[in-house]
Amino acid sequence: MKKLNFGYLVTISFLATLIFSITIYGNPQEKPEQDISFYKPVTDISSYPLLKKKRVRNIILLIGDGMGFAQVDAARIRATGAAGRLNMERMPVTGFVKTHSANRLITDSAAGGTALSTGFKTNNGVIAMSPGGKNFMTILEAAQKRGMGTGLVVTSTITDATPSVFASHIVSRKSQPEIALQLVKSGVNVLLGGGKEFFIPKSIKESKRGDEQSPLDEARAKGYLIIDTRQQLADAKGDHVLGLFQMDSLKTTGDEPSLAEMAQKAIALLKPNKNGFFMMVEGSQIDWGCHANNPDYAIRQVLLFDEAVKVALEFAAENKDTLVVVTADHETGGLTIVGGNLDGSGLGFAWAKKDHTAVQVPVYAFGPQAILFMGVQDNTDVARKLSIALGIGNFPLKQE
Ligand SMILES: [Zn+2]
C-alpha cells in the first residue's frame, strides 16, 4: 500500500513537471524555425488582372525549390484555412511544368535549374552545360548582353545549384569554390544569400576553399559593395552588391534579412537600370524541409517564399511592365495531405520518400506576356518563353 502511494506521487509529480515544462518552454509550434507569425494572409483573394500591354521591361523569376502542388496546398491551408489564397495563387495565368532531366526521370536541382535558365536539358548534377561539356547561354546572360541589370537572391549558399545555373558553367554542382569565382567574374549586379565560406581563402578558419584565392577580394576589386548584415543591406547603394549573410546557408530566423527583404532591396537596386532587369529569387529551403519530411519546416519556407512573391507582385502591379513567373524545379518528398480541419488546424501529412519525385510542378504568371505560361509545358519551355517575352532572338544557344 505504501509502495502504491509512492508510485502515485511519482506520477503526479512527473505530470506536474511536464505541464510546467510545456508552460515554460512553449509547444513545438513556437520554435523560431516553425514560427509562421510573420506571414500576413491576403484579405483580397481575387486574381490579379491579365495585362494587355505587350512590352516586358523587367522579369522576376521566383523558383520554389522542391515546391510541388501539395507544398503549396499545405502552406495555404495552414496559413489561411482552406478558403484562402497565397499571394502566388492570385496570379492570373497558371500551368504545369514537366521536370525530367536529360538522363533521369527524376531531376536534381542542377539539371532542373539548367532547363529553367537555359532552355536545354542536361544530366543531373551539371550546371548550365551540355552533358558533353558545351556551355549553354543562360537567360540571365542574354539579359546582360542586352544591357539589363541582373540579380540572384537565395537563402541557400549563392553558389548552390539553382543560383549557379544562371551565371556559371561547370560539370559538377559540387564545385562551389570554383562557382564562387565564376559568379564574381559574371558581373551579376546583385548577389544576395549565404555561402561566404566559399569566398574567403583557405587560411581563414571558416573557409571551405582548397586554395588561397579570395573571390571576395576579387569582387571588391571589381567594384562590388561587400555586405554581410541586415543593416548594411538596408543602407546598400550602387550597381554591384554582393551580400553574403552567413558562412553557410541562411538560417531564415533571427537577425538576418528575410528572402522578401532581400528581394525588395534587389528590386530597388536594379530598378534604375535604363534597359530593365532580370532577377531570380529562390525559396531554397522548401526542398530541405521536404528532404527531412518535416511539414512545419517546408510550410514555413513556402510562406517565406510567398512573402517574396508578394513583393514582386506589388512591384509588377504598380509598374505594369514587369513579368513575374513563379515555378519550381521539381517536387520533393511525394507529399500529400491526408487529413485536417477547414481552418488549417490538425493537418495530417504523408510522404512517399525523402528525395525528389517525377511529378509535374505548378507555374504561375502575372504581367505582360504572362499568357505564354498557360497550359502544360516542359521545364525547358520556361526559359524559351522568358526569352520570347523579352524579345531575345537566338535563344536557346549552345556555345562552341
Ligand atoms: Zn533536393
Choosing from 109, 117, 207, 258, the catalytic residue is 109
Give the per-residue pLDDT at 24: 40
Query: How many A from CA of 40 to the centre of ligand 1?
Result: 28
- Residue 276, Ramachandran bin (φ over 0: left; ψ between -120 and 50: alpha; else beta): left
Give the chain's radius of gyration (CA, Å): 22
- For the chain, the residue count is 400
Cis peptide before 396 (omega within 30 of 0): yes
pLDDT mean for each 10 residues of the chain (400 residues): 52 52 46 90 95 90 98 98 97 98 98 98 98 97 97 98 98 97 98 98 98 98 98 98 98 96 98 98 98 98 98 96 98 98 97 98 98 98 98 90
Cell triple for 22 = 510545456
Give the per-residue pLDDT at 33: 79
Whether the full predicted model's pTM is greater than 0.85, yes or no, is yes
- Is there a contact between 297 and 178 (Cβ–Cβ < 8 Å)? no
**DSSP 8-state code for residue 161:** H
Query: How many A from CA of 294 to the centre of ligand 1?
Result: 13
Cell triple for 40 = 500576413
Query: How many A from CA of 383 to the centre of ligand 1?
Result: 21
Residue whose C-alpha is closest to residue 326's, from 357, 365, 290: 365
Give the per-residue pLDDT at 22: 42
Q: Mind listing the domains of the chain with CATH numbers?
A: 47-390 (3.40.720.10)
> Residue 41 class from Cβ within 10 Å (0-12 exposed, 13-18 middle, 19+ buried)?
middle
Cα angle value 379/279/287 (rounded, 5°): 55
Our answer to whether residue 109 is catalytic in this structure is yes
Cell triple for 277 = 532587369
Query: How many A from CA of 7 to the centre of ligand 1?
Result: 49
Task: Give the C-alpha separation, 188 to 192, whole Å.
Answer: 11
Strand partners of residue 93: 365
Strand partners of residue 95: 363, 375
Query: How many A from CA of 66 to the centre of ligand 1?
Result: 6
User: Could you read off the pLDDT of 320-350 as tens digits, one per residue?
Assistant: 999 999 999 999 999 999 999 999 999 999 9
Strand order across the beta sheet in which 190-194 lies: 225-227, 241-244, 190-194, 149-157, 277-283, 58-64, 322-327, 361-366, 93-98, 375-378
Give the per-residue pLDDT at 229: 98
